[in-house]
Amino acid sequence: MPQPDAGFYVGLMSGTSVDSIDAVLVRFDPSNDGNPEIIAAEGYPIEDAMRKAILALCSPGPAELDRSGQLDRTLGEVFASAVTRLLESSGVKASQVTAIGSHGQTVRHRPPGTIATPFSLQIGDPNTIAAMTGITTVADFRRRDMALGGQGAPLVPAFHQAVFAAAEDRAVVNVGGMANITELSADGSVRGYDTGPGNVMLDYWIGLQQGLSYDADGAWGASGRVHPELMERLMADPYFSAPPPKSTGREAFNPAWLETGMSGLSVAAADVQATLCEVTATSIAQAVQAFSPGGEVLICGGGAHNADLLKRLRRRLPTWSVSTTDQYGIAADWVEAVAFAWLAKQTLAGLAGNCPGVTGASEETVLGGIFPAGRAR
């Protein structure tokens, strides 16, 4: 049943990179076709101890159930704190916010084709968020799509279609820990899928070699040279040639994957970084070229700040204009968080949030669970 809409929503996103919680306060203006207006946005760094605990849950280990349950509650408290701080800085009261859309933190993603019974698990307890903020919270967006045979990811293409569709072929590419593409055809159709690793391996390698959390501007990668044999080995991963619908995560692209590719090779550290950046650029470019011979590519996510990655993409996509979503009113850093605010709005209105042509689900469906903030009568 549609709910009254006060216009303000909060979107929360913590992605595969596990570096920060992105929080945005958004107003959807009916006089502007319901397009989002970002009122406030902030990234709240995830403390190192919590980041290590999250990453430890991304692989099988001892006492997983206890660790997951405790971290679920703790992370819910951190999400709630991020909302409270965002509202305080913006001057907007919790009572003015219709809902929070929280993606949660993915700790395991096993889509169809990777395991007998597919599932996806995000933590960051929405009950805790709703209780601490006093704001209705919408969460657990992926599993309804998976219940209908879908990948449960990517979920942002429906939002991309709503705000970025145009009269020309346009690809929206989010480069977070993983990278995904939304194909917005001039005829109005939409498709999309995860193209492979985005920043996840770049962040891992520079962290291992230099103790840094990311490669600023892609400068270290730009200083190296692509190693042909390592490049060939990494791009031979069957994921890159698998047909969509498809989605992926740290379960597939991780340190062990890189170590296997490097086995028996002697490669300078900067050359490994250059090669990893080329893998990200190549896998994205191949997806774009398979979509259409030319058009516009809009980059969002943390990868939008990697000048080396953008240079590699432009070199591989000479018939495409490559820029960021900033020029269309949504800063590249906040697109995904805004998308989950939008998905919360869709859910409360009883409207579909998935694209079956993207995820492979059998039908469109309302996504997520609603966790009311009000007291029982």
Contact 20, 214 (CB under 8 A): no
Query: What is the signed CA dihedral for 308, 233, 192, 179, rounded to 10 degrees?
Result: -40
Contact 175, 304 (CB under 8 A): yes
Supply the DSSP symbol for 47: P
Contact 150, 363 (CB under 8 A): no
Is 106 labelled as part of a ligand binding site? no
Helix (H, G, I), strand (E, B) or coil at 291: helix
**Whole-angstrom distance between the N-terminal and C-terminal Cα of the chain?**
19
> Nearest-CA neighbor of 344 among 173, 140, 190?
140
Ramachandran angles phi, psi of 293, nearest 5°: -70, -15
Q: 20 has which bridge partners?
A: 45
Is 140 labelled as part of a ligand binding site? no
The C-alpha atoms of residue 276 and residue 260 are separated, in whole angstroms, by: 14
Ramachandran angles phi, psi of 182, nearest 5°: -115, 125
Is 149 labelled as part of a ligand binding site? no
Is 17 labelled as part of a ligand binding site? yes
The C-alpha atoms of residue 256 and residue 250 are separated, in whole angstroms, by: 10
What stretch of H or E contains 318?
Answer: none
The set of residues, in sequence order, having a beta carbon less than 8 Å from that of 178 and lying 6+ positions away, is 16, 194, 196, 197, 198, 200, 248, 249, 253
Position of tokens 């994205």?
A: 284
Ramachandran angles phi, psi of 354, nearest 5°: -105, 165
Is 138 labelled as part of a ligand binding site? no
Is 114 labelled as part of a ligand binding site? no
Annotated binding site: 15-22
Annotated binding site for ATP: 15-22
